[in-house]
Structure 1
Amino acid sequence: MLNLSAGINQAVAGLARPVEPSPLRDPVWLGWSEDMARTLGLPARATEALLKQCNGEGPFTLPPMAQVYSGHQFGGYTPRLGDGRGCHLGEVQGYELFLKGSGPTPYSRGGDGRAVIRSAVREFLASEALHHLGLATTRALAVLGSDTPVWREQQERGAITVRVSRSHLRFGHFEYFKHSDQPKVLAALIDYTLERYFPDCLTGKKPVQAWFFEVVSRTAETIADWQAMGFAHGVLNSDNMSILGETFDYGPFAFMDRCDPGLVCNHSDHHGRYAFDQQPAIGWWNLQRLALALSDHLDAEVMAAALAHYQQQLVARYLWRMEARLGVASDGEVQSRLDLVADLVEMMRRQQVDFHRCLRSLCRMDPGIDDNALAQWLGDDAQWWSWLSRYRDRLTLTELQPWQQQRARANPNVILRTHLAQQAIEAAENGDAAPLNQLHQALRHPYDEHPDHPHYTEAPPSWAQSITLSCSS
């Protein structure tokens, strides 16, 4: 049973409203995260009582709540959004639990408040995958399937993802209370945020300024991690941005297969606003929106300084990630370090190679040999030999085997590719959760070899190119 305690919804009046979840019909467990369960102090094995609570049936010690917020969606401001298809249950061990897909709320805007199996499974797998890759993200305790009919482009079946986070606060929460002219609620929300999530910022003379700098830094680091790991979020609206810098609200996300910096994974993004290579700029743009929401509490000079800090922090984090992947020294002039990485990515793009398999080959590479593992991917490029010379000058290699082992720990072997998620979804929709759980277990150990499941590390099949993802994904 979930032993729930009160949190932000009870502490900040006006943030949330009570809702009545709409349980799914004939719910079943599709996926369960044992390590997340242990973190929450729950049984390693899912129980019938937990199934009822995660399905919204209760009993609950607190009334489930839906929060209100706003946000900039595809660049335009939507003044009132909110939790339109889910509810907050309360806190367990300092983590907030959220049922995504539990039915309509006052913020559903005419929608049914449901998630479907494909979207719920994708969020469960993605949040767990990024966590075990070492990226900041919300987590998932479980995913439930059901016989509840739900209409999207066609009839599907309802599902619920049990999302877990230290905080569900979005940039859009602060935008809503600023632009709806509720300064007292905004001030209370800021105070709670500082005391609960950023207590170190309270020790200085200007805690709000210190907090904003921290949000800028965390956002920059998370987006830099996405760029280094080939992850495209797909819908970076300001209401999908976490103040903790966590990857938040998974929808039409995708890991790159073929190296394509211009990747647009969201079929609904007709102008490529949220393309992979646009994510750093969009992160900065969203931080500007947060700065405007906090403008009554921040000095203009502080906002400008913090936003200027964003690029520096993003570049530093990106280089730290990529240089670890490549096994080169993290020193020297920043531009030359960036050039080495950028020129590699450009060769990968020109040669149309698989982003992850190409970088994984570094764990088998002997850089002193001309016909090495990386050359087998990129050796036909006109810039290869000049790049290899610069690369060799930067290497930290002393002994080959330890260096290769370090590359294996920095370059994942198993990635949540779109076609792997699709195969797990189709099996789950047909009543077989085994492929989902096998994939989940592999994603918990992404840097290991998985000889029992060689298809996890193979090139995507040709049919994978026909998979389309949209906001309903």
Structure 2
Amino acid sequence: MTLDNLKYKTAYLSLDSEFYDMTDPIPLDDPYLISFNPNAAKLIDLDSSSKDDPRFVALLNGTFIPKGTRPFSMCYAGHQFGNYAPRLGDGRAINLGSINGWNLQTKGSGETRYARTADGRAAMRSSIREYLMSEAMHHLGIPTTRALGIIGSQTKIIRNQIENAAIVMRLSPSWVRFGTFEYFYYFKEYDKLRSLADYTITESYTHLQDDEDRYYKFFCEVVDRTAKLIAQWQGLGFCHGVMNTDNMSIAGLTIDYGPYAMLDDFEYGFVCNQTDKAGRYSYGDQPNVSYWNLTMLSKALSPLIDKERMQKKLDDYGNFLYPDAYIDVMREKLGLEMKLDEDVELITDLVGTLQDAYIDYTFFFRTLSRYDGDRMPLFDIAMNPVPVDGWLNMYDKRLSKEVHTQDERQKAMLKTNPKYVLKNYMLQEAIDLAQKGDFSMVETLLHIAAHPFDELPECERFAGETPEEHKNVCLSCSS
């Protein structure tokens, strides 16, 4: 399919007009292509040759609007750092419609009805970060939004300094958030709340459409998906940074990449967001915050679903849904095929070991993936190898109970524990070059993002631990 054949569906516009606002994009000045993602283009059957069509830049910039397109921004509310904000919405994002079940959205397209005095723009640095990380997460096997392309411009915006604005085109099976439900609950518009639930079930939980108990089962599946998602985040060492309820996907996806980070040296209480002074969204608290957010969702759904039934499901989340999902993720990272009760202690002790060892999280697991009894490679990458030595005694004992061979275990672990994750220092290097007009590092990191488990000799410098001066950097929400 070429740009001539783009045809969007806009099912969301069948809802009441309070759900959205018809919004025209405001084009950037002198736009230019930073990157085109052929892997994401395949999702909507868009030919890779579209990269060279000037209308692709125009599509992202809002000056080429395919026939039948009805751009709009979505309305929602949300709890931000625990405080309820009654009206948020897409302050700088414009939805174009869906193709092949993927909802296309341009982020940074200018002020909308929900901008709340902001300029509706996005900085190049934050746009590059979202573009690259959403693709990296997908190839790591984490449910996420995707990104089709990114453009830069000569339009100036003021953040902490004067910067150039950019637009990234995002794709998602759903842009409905926990906060979308909160909006209609707190305004006591329960008929619209029901309409939203029906729409969401049709969009993301189709198999429940004709079920008489669909609202409760829908809530249960949101809880299940969220448990698995957060377990995957924790296993990978991903810190979201802004887990407000308006940044939580009702479809169980990773959305809204802001001041995120991948762990460098393991730090359980690491906070990646400078705005988060209280550490509400620290790495270690992400499971607790996800439970809190689900509790807020259950409150918003209470006009449709019995509260006690939802609370029982929430209890399951804390008692076994999330813990079991996390243990399963960690078993796989440790190369354990059998499920033994002692694994909980092994994994719990590992978390404490990593905390005490001052060791790069990703590099540790990649090195462990080649473990053959020789401990020196692991000692060499730990500032404090003593706790690693003690934990390996437990690990050796546990491995002796497995039935698969060492070679089989190593091969499985190398397919589970990435060699490459996008650390903030890598992204900053790409951003610094891009701001000078050199987009080569963006393309390099896009390539790395698509091959996290592979041996890439030309990218070997990104495979080790983070340089000391760049470890566990805390970023700003400003974008």
- Normalised by the length of structure 1, the TM-score is 0.95
Match status 1:361 vs 2:367: yes
Cα distance, 1:392 vs. partner? 2.2
What CA distance in whole angstroms lies between the structure 2 residues aligned with 1:380 and 1:65?
Answer: 54
1:167 pairs, out of 131, 153, 174, with 174
1:185 is matched with 192
Determine helix, strand or coil for the equivalent of 1:364.
coil
2:260 pairs, out of 253, 256, 264, with 253
1:317 pairs, out of 318, 325, 328, with 325
Whichever residue aligns with residue 38 of structure 2, its letter is E
Cα distance, 1:459 vs. partner? 2.4
Match status 1:428 vs 2:428: no
Does the aligned pair in 2 maintain the 1:397–1:403 contact within 8 Å?
Answer: no
1:151 is matched with 158
Does the aligned pair in 1 maintain the 2:208–2:214 contact within 8 Å?
Answer: yes
Match status 1:34 vs 2:34: no
Cα distance, 1:364 vs. partner? 2.1
What CA distance in whole angstroms lies between the structure 2 residues aligned with 1:421 and 1:56?
Answer: 27
The 1:339/1:8 distance shift into structure 2, 3 A limit, reads: farther
1:9 is matched with 12
1:279 is matched with 286
1:189-208 → structure 2 map (5 Å cutoff): 189-208=196-215
What CA distance in whole angstroms lies between the structure 1 residues aligned with 2:382 and 2:344?
Answer: 19
Determine helix, strand or coil for the equivalent of 2:180.
helix
Q: Percent identity?
A: 37
Determine helix, strand or coil for the equivalent of 2:79.
strand
Determine helix, strand or coil for the equivalent of 1:453.
helix
Does the aligned pair in 1 maintain the 2:265–2:472 contact within 8 Å?
Answer: no
Cα distance, 1:388 vs. partner? 2.4
1:267 is matched with 274
Q: Deviation string for 1:356-384 (max 9, x for gaps)?
A: 111100232103x4x35334446955544
Does the aligned pair in 1 maintain the 2:271–2:474 contact within 8 Å?
Answer: no
What CA distance in whole angstroms lies between the structure 2 residues aligned with 1:304 and 1:398?
Answer: 41
1:460 is matched with 466
What CA distance in whole angstroms lies between the structure 2 residues aligned with 1:133 and 1:5?
Answer: 29
1:76 is matched with 83
2:247 is matched with 240
Determine helix, strand or coil for the equivalent of 1:134.
coil
Does the aligned pair in 1 maintain the 2:272–2:472 contact within 8 Å?
Answer: no
Structure 2 unaligned residues grouped into runs of 5+: none
1:24-423 → structure 2 map (5 Å cutoff): 24-45=28-49, 46=51, 47-60=53-66, 61-311=68-318, 312-333=320-341, 336-367=342-373, 369=374, 371=375, 373-377=377-381, 381-395=385-399, 396=402, 398-423=404-429
What CA distance in whole angstroms lies between the structure 2 residues aligned with 1:219 and 1:453?
Answer: 33
2:26 pairs, out of 6, 10, 22, with 22
* Residues paired across the two proteins, number: 469
Does the aligned pair in 1 maintain the 2:190–2:303 contact within 8 Å?
Answer: no
The 1:172/1:379 distance shift into structure 2, 3 A limit, reads: closer
Does the aligned pair in 1 maintain the 2:43–2:102 contact within 8 Å?
Answer: no
What CA distance in whole angstroms lies between the structure 2 residues aligned with 1:24 and 1:185?
Answer: 35
Residue range with higher mean Cα deviation, 34-43 or 57-66: 57-66
Determine helix, strand or coil for the equivalent of 1:406.
helix
What CA distance in whole angstroms lies between the structure 2 residues aligned with 1:362 and 1:88?
Answer: 44
Q: What value does the CA root-mean-square deviation take over the aligned residues? A: 1.7
Whichever residue aligns with residue 6 of structure 2, its letter is N
Residue range with higher mean Cα deviation, 68-77 or 343-352: 343-352
Does the aligned pair in 2 maintain the 1:140–1:163 contact within 8 Å?
Answer: yes
What CA distance in whole angstroms lies between the structure 1 residues aligned with 2:167 and 2:144?
Answer: 18
Whichever residue aligns with residue 153 of structure 1, its letter is N
Does the aligned pair in 1 maintain the 2:265–2:471 contact within 8 Å?
Answer: no
Cα distance, 1:63 vs. partner? 1.9
